[in-house]
Structure 1
Amino acid sequence: MKYAEWRRKAAEPGRVPEFEGIDEAGAAAQIDRLLTAQEVGGHGVTLAPAEAQSLLGRYGIPVRPAFAAPDPDSAVRAAARLGYPVALKATAPHLRHRPDLGGVRLDLAGEEQLRAAYAELTETLGKPAETLPVVQSMVPRGVDTVVRAAIDPGVGAVLSFGLAGAPAELLGDTAHRLVPATDRDVSEQIRSIRTAPLLFGWRGSTPVDSRALEELLLRVSRLVDDHPEITAVALEPVVVAPHGLAVLDATVRLAPPPARTDLGPRRLPAY
């Protein structure tokens, strides 16, 4: 049975779909400008949030804006710009992935709630300069996931997917596929993790929008395949709702592409 399944998959490898709204030339120009303008060491450079959002946006990957709130008045102005309800988050590196510390306040419906949450967060976790609060619009409830891509010295660009949070990290519950990924690759990828039932209606919950998730993975794959200067992309968290998804934070790293010693194509030829 396993051999038959392998033969079937080999005969139907899937395809790399084309998407509208991809500005490959604009992304290349932006990457060239960023690498030229900055002194880039051997480990590359991490883009500022605005530059990362702009680059991802050229491939149809919108990132929800988050506005810095160094004081309560700044938080209120940001919320007025976004519209209530909003979320208040501590984004300092030592707090970013520690939900157990209470660095996130959700569904703040008005100025009074926002100011109270701000005071509570900074009194509990530290001054604004230590916690780096930001204000972000609320998104529909869903399943928190993580989408990453990185260069592996042995095999090239690798696309990774898993659920967000400590349980998935402790279990190593992450699925990987080589870039460029096909539609079949990403469909199997999101279904191959052990926690996949949480995406598809576990214990009567509403299934999430798996098609939107697959499209996001394919767009990230296309981005890193088109631009070898992109050495790492991390979208975390990606909240996948019953209809659509939202990327709440993104990190992108660039570095000059290594010199190629081979003379062949980047992809295996199709037979």
Structure 2
Amino acid sequence: MRHGRRLAGLTLLALLGAAAYAGPYLTRWSWTGVDVTAFGEPPSVTHWLGTTPAGRDMYAVTLRALRRSLVIGLVVASGATSLAAVTGAMAGYLGGWPDRLLLWGTDLLLIFPPFLIAAVASPVAVGAAGTALLLSGLLWPVTARAVRAATRSLREEGYVLAARQLGAPAWMIVRRHLLPNLVSLLLADATLNTGTAIVAESGLSYFGFGVRPPDVSLGTLLADGTSSATVFPWLFLPPVGLLILLLLAVDLAGTGLLGPPSLRERG
């Protein structure tokens, strides 16, 4: 309760997750269902958030999009952080050519604009799974460099030197002694990567490079509702509102994990 920002972010994130998975059961409409008597209708008792021009229930479609964006964000954050943790820790501990190879690879990935890489790879990265894999491969370099720098400072600690003298292999030292001491860094980075992944997925889907019809995400709903936002606001405002709340929740949780609240408040 003393960590108000962290608590607020995690609570809001939990509520959004509950809405994404439990909310569809509160209505009889599915996200693929079509009401042939209501095309482009405003919110009503029957359709709480109105309907799309194709007759689909906007409430069910929006929650489906929220669930898709949330899952992609969590999967991308987990994958990118895990890849960065393993490669960065091994490169920082071993040094030599693994370290140079990591620096060369991350520098190469950081040179090219991520959106350009995503646009080029979009023909093979189809659907939610392809988008998640693509974003995981684009978001890990910065974290890997941070893990490498932290590992280089830890590899000279007494417990690491003792394990090395006892003949422990490098992978065991990294797994047992280095990565456990980087949990706070990795946890905060994974949380912030979730927000970055959600924004990236929404942007890619908005321009047609991410999730594609018939599936939906918050980005595809924004793309569909932008042109008619002033005429049919119920097509645009719900996905915008949920995207803002989702990013706010992730930001509050992530910044709350970056360090002790007392130090941040004094800063």
TM range (shorter): under 0.3
1 or 2 for the larger relative contact order (CA 8 Å, sep ≥6)?
2
| Higher strand residue share | 1
Question: Which structure shows the higher helix fraction?
Answer: 2
Give the TM-score of the pair, scaled to structure 1.
Answer: 0.26
Structure 2 length normalisation: TM-score?
A: 0.26
